[in-house]
Structure 1
């Protein structure tokens, strides 16, 4: 499960105790999530503003209290099932955990199961494919690093699955050459338009920038670089940088806006990345490694990474794009 920040908010003393229990047990069980707890009556002056901030950072939001509070609070900030924050509700006794929003793509169902195991609670899962133990195309896409094009197709595919109809799938020629098992015939006939298209996430954005860079400026720079490389945001698996940038708001907002993980590496790790890079003695003196964007992009690649856009620099920002081999796996490696 991808590491997420969990923002747990409670409104009573009993709820606050449960929130701290979740934080303590998660640490003991070494769960991969960073957990922050908030007391709604003491630490959060404006619940709407707090919730808006959590959505902008795409943090997982866990309400300890009534479902009605959660529903009314999150309603103004709902935009897209593919990018909305996962939202869950726990009763203050810790008996039930309910994923309300973004159960599959956002991982709310996974979080619910983790919390249920942690607390001995009952997970209340309501997504149709889960309760019918059926194939879920959005879970498949998430697991295999695929972006979903035209989310309306999810409903159509799920309907076929739930009606127990056969579901077919094809793979584009450029990816078919990389598989170990091929299904089908070599003829290239006319194919009907699919219900849903899944786009491989095979690119990494490596980014470096001056401290406190303006968010819109970095966004515009990144989009220009993507356009130059002929790459769409849906093809990006991760944004990568040096660990000194782990709290850089402009990069965090860029990653959150597109629902992309932000990976960071220390200077020593980046310095060991093999390859020929556009180096800078000044950068080395500031952060301990001679190049951030190209090295970070390559460090984040998992299989046969190579630079497809070398370092671009503009007004205190640098960006490079690396491509890795994407392949479909039939079982866990």
Structure 2
């Protein structure tokens, strides 16, 4: 199958095809322009985020924190991702998008040239097979009328016996003109037939096959452009994968069990012997009936001590109940933490 062999009478369809492909290329170009803009804005946003984090982290800790180190690496790799995305946007702009813009111009020129050449050869074919033949046929009919008229006048001259030679001469001249025009028409008709065969068998197929070849070359070029676009905009390229691997590795290096070891070493406090809290015996210097660290039980204090004891027992019971409730809450929270931890482990895998 091919344009030259199958699309000789499909000129309008070929024009529509080229118009459709041009619209498609314009759509692809518009999409790529927006993608370049989007990737540049995304890169800029990532960079601004990293800059903001740097400003907020001006206060440095006086101990080594694995969490802080991991977070710093996350920020650094995010900044690296920003640079990669910016580079990709620039490569997309100078590579596929530029080539696509040039292709659109070339395709517009191909269509213009095709239409121009097609109009030229079609006009020539119409001239040879229609216009010139119609002129000859018109002259042919006119000469037939003149010959017939000359013959009638010659017959009349013979019948009357007047100016027969003159009438005969006019008849012969008209007949000669007709015969010469007849030969001219036969030759022109043969030439038109040859021109028509040449047009449909060779000239037009060559033009259409040339168009198909250029169309296919442009499809090949467009395939290369889209392939390059796919590679540039891919989020699974080695450099981007390495960025996320670095981030993942830094997160895995966080060890909750050893996170505060350096903090403890840095801020370790010396053992301090606290002063013993004792009964101030100076309070008893003027009262010999009271003894240090002993409850005074007598008729004066019995009622008060009973009330105090009752109150303390009630508070103890209430405290025990609160403790049981808190213990149940702690167990429930520990269960939720364990479930959440397992969920996070599955996601990280």
Task: Please tell me the TM-score bracket, short chain as reference.
Answer: under 0.3
- Length-normalised TM-score, structure 2: 0.17
- Length-normalised TM-score, structure 1: 0.17
Greater Rg by CA = 2
**The structure with more helix, counted as a fraction of residues:** 2
Q: Which has the higher contact order (CA 8 A, sep 6+)?
A: 2
